Amino acid sequence: MSNQLDCFLAEHAEVSRRWLLRTGVAGAVTLGTWPFALAESGRSAVLEEAIAKLEPYFTLQGDFRDVSRGEPTPHSIPDETKVQVGMTRDSWRLEVSGDPDHPPRLRKPLTREKGNAFDFNDLMQLAERHAVRFPKVMTCLNIGCPLGTGIWEGVPLREVLWLTRPSENLRRVFYYGYHNGDPEQMFRSSLPVGRILEDPFDLPPVILCYKLNGDWLTSERGGPVRIVVPEAYGFKSIKWLTHVVLSNIAHANDTYAEQNNDVDSPLKTFAATLSVPSPVKPDTPFALTGYAQVGISGLSKVQVWLHREGDEMPAGGRYFSNAPWQDAEILSPPKDWGGGLPDNRIPSPTLGFELGTDKPVSWPLRLTKVHWAYRCDGLPAGEYALRCRTVDEKGYEQPLPRPFKKSGRAAIEQVTLQVTS
Ligand SMILES: Nc1nc2c(c(=O)[nH]1)N[C@H]1C(S)=C(S)[C@@H](COP(=O)(O)O)O[C@H]1N2
Ligand SMILES: [Mo]
Written as tens digits, the pLDDT of the chain (421 aa) is: 344 545 555 555 555 454 444 443 333 333 333 334 443 567 999 999 999 999 999 999 999 999 889 999 999 999 999 999 999 999 999 999 999 999 999 999 999 999 999 999 999 999 999 999 999 999 999 998 899 999 999 999 999 999 999 999 999 999 999 999 999 999 999 999 999 999 999 899 999 999 999 999 999 999 999 999 999 999 999 999 999 999 999 999 999 999 999 999 999 999 999 999 999 999 999 999 999 999 999 999 999 999 999 999 999 888 899 999 999 999 999 999 999 999 999 999 999 999 999 999 999 999 999 999 999 999 999 999 999 999 999 999 998 877 789 999 889 999 999 999 9
User: pTM of the prediction?
Assistant: 0.92
What pLDDT is attached to residue 221? 98
Asked whether 187 lines ligand 1 (CB < 6 A), one says yes
Q: What separation in Å is there between the alpha carbon of 235 and the centre of ligand 1?
A: 5
66-259 has the same fold as 2-61+267-419: no
Q: What ligand has the least distance to the C-alpha of 66?
A: 1
The 3-state secondary structure of 229-271, one letter per residue:
CCCECHHHCCCCEEEEEEECCCCCCCHHHHHCCCCCCECCCEE
Distance separating the N- and C-terminal Cα atoms of the chain: 30
Do β-strands 188-192 and 207-212 pair in parallel, antiparallel, or remain unpaired? unpaired
Q: What separation in Å is there between the alpha carbon of 140 and the centre of ligand 2?
A: 4
Rounded alpha-carbon distances, angstroms, from residue 106 to 113, 152, 238, 248:
16, 30, 23, 12
Locate the ligand 1 atom nearest the alpha carbon of residue 139 and give its number. Answer: 14
Asked whether 235 lines ligand 1 (CB < 6 A), one says yes
CATH class assigned to 66-259: alpha beta
What pLDDT is attached to residue 6? 54
**203 CB neighbour count, 10 Å cutoff:** 18
Asked whether 232 lines ligand 1 (CB < 6 A), one says no
Asked whether 239 lines ligand 1 (CB < 6 A), one says yes
What pLDDT is attached to residue 37? 40
Q: Are 37 and 52 in contact (CB under 8 A)?
A: no
3 state DSSP class of 217: coil
How many residues belong to the chain?
421
CATH 2.60.40.650 fits 2-61+267-419, yes or no: yes
Cis peptide before 314 (omega within 30 of 0): no
What pLDDT is attached to residue 379? 97
What pLDDT is attached to residue 10? 56
What pLDDT is attached to residue 408? 93
Q: What separation in Å is there between the alpha carbon of 157 and the centre of ligand 2?
A: 21
The residues spanned by each domain of the chain are 2-61+267-419, 66-259
Q: What separation in Å is there between the alpha carbon of 55 and the centre of ligand 2?
A: 22
Residue 223, CA atoms < 13 Å, CB-side half-sphere: 20
Instruction: List beta partners, residue 228.
Output: 207
Q: What separation in Å is there between the alpha carbon of 225 and the centre of ligand 1?
A: 12
Cβ contacts of 252-257, under 8 Å, gap ≥ 24: 252/172, 252/190, 253/172, 253/174, 253/188, 253/190, 254/174, 254/188, 254/189, 254/190, 255/186, 255/187, 255/188, 255/189, 256/141, 256/187, 256/189
Q: What ligand has the least distance to the C-alpha of 234?
A: 1
Q: How many helices (H) and strands (E) does the chain have?
A: 6, 21
